[in-house]
Amino acid sequence: MESQLSQASKDNMQALAEAKFKRKEMQQRDGLNAMAEYHADKVAERKKTAKLREQRLAKEAAEKQAAEEAATAKAAKVAAKPANDDPLASSGKLEKVEAFGNVSVRTATDTAIGDRAVYVPETGIARLAGNVRITRGQNQLAGTEAEVNMKTGISRLLAGNGPAGRVQGLVVPDEASNQQLTGPTPPGAPAAPASRPPGKAK
C-alpha cells in the first residue's frame, strides 16, 4: 500500500514537471513568434517607406524634366519669332508719342498749346492740332494746327483747311523775346523801325 502511494506520488510529480515543461516550451514558442512578427512588421514598414520615397523622387524628377522642356520650348519659340514681327519691341526705340487734352509743348523760347499732339522722337517734330496757341513772351499766335521742331526750337503755325483755318496773332514790336532769335543789330545795318503800339495781325 505504501509503495503504491509512493509510486502514485512520483507519477504525479512527473506529470506536473512535464506540464510545466510544456507550458514553458509554449511560452518560448509564443515569444519567438511574437518576435518574428515584430521583425516582419518592421521590414514591411521599411519597404513601404522606401517605396514612398522612390515615388516622391520619381515625381520630383518628372516635374523638373517637364519644367526644363517647357523652358526649352519657350526659348525656341522666342528664337524662332521673326525679328521684324514687332520692330518697336525689338529695337527698343520709341516711334511716336500721342497726347490728348490741353497738350503743352515747350521750347527755349515758345510754348505751344493744343487739344492734341503727336511727337516723333526720330525727327524731333511735334505736331499740334485743335485750338492751337503759340506764345513767345507777349507775342501770341492762334490757329488750328502747329508744328514745333524740338531740335531747332522753331515753331510754325499752320492754317488748316476750310473757313476755320485762319491764323490770328498778337505781335508786340521790340519785345525782348523777339531779339532772342534775331540777335543785336550789326554795325552799319539799317535801324529798326520805330515802335508801334500793340496790335492784332490777321
pLDDT, residue 165, reads: 62
Among 1-10, 25-34, 41-50, 132-141, the minimum mean pLDDT is found in: 1-10
* 166 has pLDDT over 80: no
Give me 54's grid cell: 522612390
- Average pLDDT across the chain, whole number: 76
- Comparing 73 with 92, the larger pLDDT belongs to 73
The residue-averaged pLDDT of 50-58 equals 92
Indicate yes or no: pTM above 0.85. no
> The dihedral of CA 16, 17, 20, 25: what is its sign?
negative
User: In 3D, which of 166, 21, 99 has the Cα closest to residue 157?
Assistant: 166
Q: What is the spatial distance between Cα 67 and Cα 92, in angstroms, rounded to a whole number?
A: 30
| pLDDT tier for residue 65 given thresholds of 50, 70 and 90 | very high
The residue-averaged pLDDT of 99-128 equals 90
> The dihedral of CA 73, 75, 76, 77: what is its sign?
positive
User: In 3D, which of 193, 132, 118 has the Cα closest to residue 168?
Assistant: 132
Which long-range contacts (C-beta less than 8 Å, at least 24 apart) are formed by 63-70? none
pLDDT, residue 118, reads: 92
